Amino acid sequence: MNDEALTPERILEAAEDVLRRYGPAKATVVDVSRALGVSHGSVYRHFPSKAALRDAVVERWLARSGSPLAKIAAEKGKAAKRLRRWFDTLIAGKRERALGDPELFATYLALAKEAREVVKAYVDVRFAELETLIAEGVAAGEFRRVNAKSAAQVVWDATTRFHNPAHASEWARPDIDDAFDDLWKLLMQGLAAA
Amino acid sequence: MNDEALTPERILEAAEDVLRRYGPAKATVVDVSRALGVSHGSVYRHFPSKAALRDAVVERWLARSGSPLAKIAAEKGKAAKRLRRWFDTLIAGKRERALGDPELFATYLALAKEAREVVKAYVDVRFAELETLIAEGVAAGEFRRVNAKSAAQVVWDATTRFHNPAHASEWARPDIDDAFDDLWKLLMQGLAAA
DNA sequence: GTACTGACAGATATTGAAATCTGTCAGTCG
DNA sequence: CGACTGACAGATTTCAATATCTGTCAGTAC
């Protein structure tokens, strides 16, 4: 079917295809190996278990979602501006995925629920970016002298409704952007240097 | 089994019992009527459908949860103090139910998901209380001259993680109260009169 | 020796027949 | 007459048999 060497990369690609096509409930390791034209035993030579394979798929997906955010966090410029852009990017990206292809989004959500460790690592990275952005803002005199970690937690918690997938069903509301903007104004009022 | 007249009230009590015992997946109308010693046809003389019966159970439950909040909203005194007490009561109540009897909480959550209308009415009432509290604070000069409705939305959204049942699994964390307090300080910073 | 296969045991999922449930209503009881 | 029953049709759920899947490993091929 395909003579190229069987690599984790190729398996992940096939696994993503199969998950997209059949959904998380029906997709099996046998399906993945069938798509690759190999026996399912071969897949197990690269991934120790079905769960590990799914974790890797989630990891790949999260890496793709996270890279624009990492880029913004690493840029130069006003921290306040970048902070806002970071959130806009986070929220717009999730919303696009959730509303653009709800079925696929639901698939990834279901996988993510089983891949707690992987998701935790992703959130930790995002949280560190947030903390850095706030610390930079404090250092530049843009923000009040808050504790960056606590402030990051506050901003993350306060914006939960707008980025946590548990609230995805609310993201289609027409007033959602206004609601975020109102919230953001209040948060910045509390955070901005006096 | 019981000679008292069959009333909606008695049926609701039995329905709650049955739901508590069997959970939302297994509880049937036949179970409820068995518990009451009547035929299930009799239950249908008081509730047009199983869904209506469940809606009524949820309504009763929400009325119980909401009454302390209504009381606080109606009290006299500093709006800022009452606003904080209102949230503390809201959050403590939910947390107690969620952590005290997780199985029962899960049962009610499952029912609530099917009773959107009833839940919406409950949330609307809570939201109106919030709006009133903020409007009173503005009128008393405690808060800046914000639009009460928008501000209520902001405060509700920002505190979502702490009162929305979708986040119940996070309520057991030891740092949850600190996180809420930090968030509250920032919100009040933005809301308090200059 | 390395990459892969395919048969296997135990676990999980699917299926279709049987049981139970929901909602209705003609009929019974007091 | 009004409150309740119980039999009924169609929808839904349960259960047990059957099929498929997961993960392992001895064996094949190169």
pLDDT in tens, chain B (194 residues): 455 789 999 999 999 999 999 999 999 999 999 999 999 999 999 999 999 999 999 999 999 999 999 999 999 999 999 999 999 999 999 999 999 999 999 999 999 999 999 999 999 999 999 999 999 999 999 999 999 999 999 999 999 999 999 999 999 999 999 999 999 999 999 999 87
Q: Is the CB of B7 under 7 A from strand C?
A: no
Pick from A151, A182, A190: which is nearest to B153 by CB?
Answer: A182
- Only one residue has tokens 């068995």, namely B34
pTM of the model: 0.93
- Nucleotide nearest B47, CA–C1', reads C23
Cβ contact B182:A153 at 8 Å: yes
Provide the token pair at B162: 């702490």
Q: What is the pLDDT of residue A1?
A: 40
Per-residue model confidence as pLDDT tens digits over B91-146: 999 999 999 999 999 999 999 999 999 999 999 999 999 999 999 999 999 999 99
Cβ contact B157:B163 at 8 Å: no
Question: Measuring CA to CA, which residue among A146, A87, A155, A114 is closest to residue A27?
Answer: A114
Choose from A113, A149, A153, A154 for mutation: most chain B CBs within 10 A.
Answer: A154
CA nearest A159 in B: which residue?
A: B158
- Only one residue has tokens 């937690």, namely A153
Distance from the B102 Cα atom to the nearest Cα atom in chain A, whole angstroms: 19
CB contact under 8 A, B166 and A161: no
Distance in Å, residue A15 CA to nucleotide D30 C1': 28
Q: Give A126-133 contacts, CB < 8 A, sequence gap 24+.
A: A126/A66, A126/A69, A126/A90, A127/A152, A127/A153, A127/A156, A129/A69, A129/A70, A129/A73, A129/A86, A130/A83, A130/A86, A130/A155, A130/A156, A132/A73, A133/A73, A133/A79, A133/A82, A133/A83, A133/A86
Q: What is the DSSP string of A24-36?
A: TTT--HHHHHHHH
Per-residue model confidence as pLDDT tens digits over A51-105: 999 999 999 999 999 999 999 999 999 999 999 999 999 999 999 999 999 999 9
Q: What is the pLDDT of residue B5?
A: 84
Question: Measuring CA to CA, which residue among B7, B4, B2 is closest to residue B46?
Answer: B7
Question: Measuring CA to CA, which residue among B6, A158, A123 is closest to residue B14?
Answer: B6
**How far from A35 is each of A40, A178, B128, CA to CA, in Å?**
10, 46, 56
Q: What is the pLDDT of residue A74?
A: 97
Q: What is the pLDDT of residue B1?
A: 41
Q: Is the CB of A6 under 7 A from strand C?
A: yes
Cβ contact A190:B186 at 8 Å: yes
Q: What is the pLDDT of residue B93?
A: 98
Per-residue model confidence as pLDDT tens digits over A3-18: 578 999 999 999 999 9
Q: Which residue is nearest to nucleotide D14 (CA to C1')?
A: B26
Mean pLDDT of chain A: 96
Burial of residue A116, with CB atoms counted within 10 A of its CB: 0-12 exposed, 13-18 middle, 19 or more buried = exposed
| Helix/strand/coil for B143 | strand
Distance from the B48 Cα atom to the nearest Cα atom in chain A, whole angstroms: 30
Where is pLDDT greater, at A1 or B56? B56
Dist CA A139 CA A132 (whole Å): 10
Dist CA B58 CA B63 (whole Å): 8
Specify which residues B192 forms β-bridges with: B143
CB contact under 8 A, A166 and B167: yes
**How many other C-beta atoms are found inside a 10 Å radius of the C-beta of residue B105?**
18
Where is pLDDT greater, at B3 or A29? A29
Pick from B153, B167, B183: which is nearest to A158 by CB?
Answer: B183
Choose from B149, B157, B167 for mutation: most chain A CBs within 10 A.
Answer: B157
Q: What is the pLDDT of residue B97?
A: 97
E strand or H helix at B94: helix B79-100
Give residue ranges of B with CB < 8 Å to any A CB.
150-151, 153-154, 157-162, 164, 166-167, 179, 182-183, 185-187, 189-191
Q: What is the pLDDT of residue A137?
A: 97
Question: Measuring CA to CA, which residue among A185, A177, A178, A21 is closest to residue A95?
Answer: A177
Confidence of residue A113 (pLDDT cuts 50, 70, 90): very high
Per-residue model confidence as pLDDT tens digits over A115-157: 999 999 999 999 999 999 999 999 999 999 999 999 999 999 9
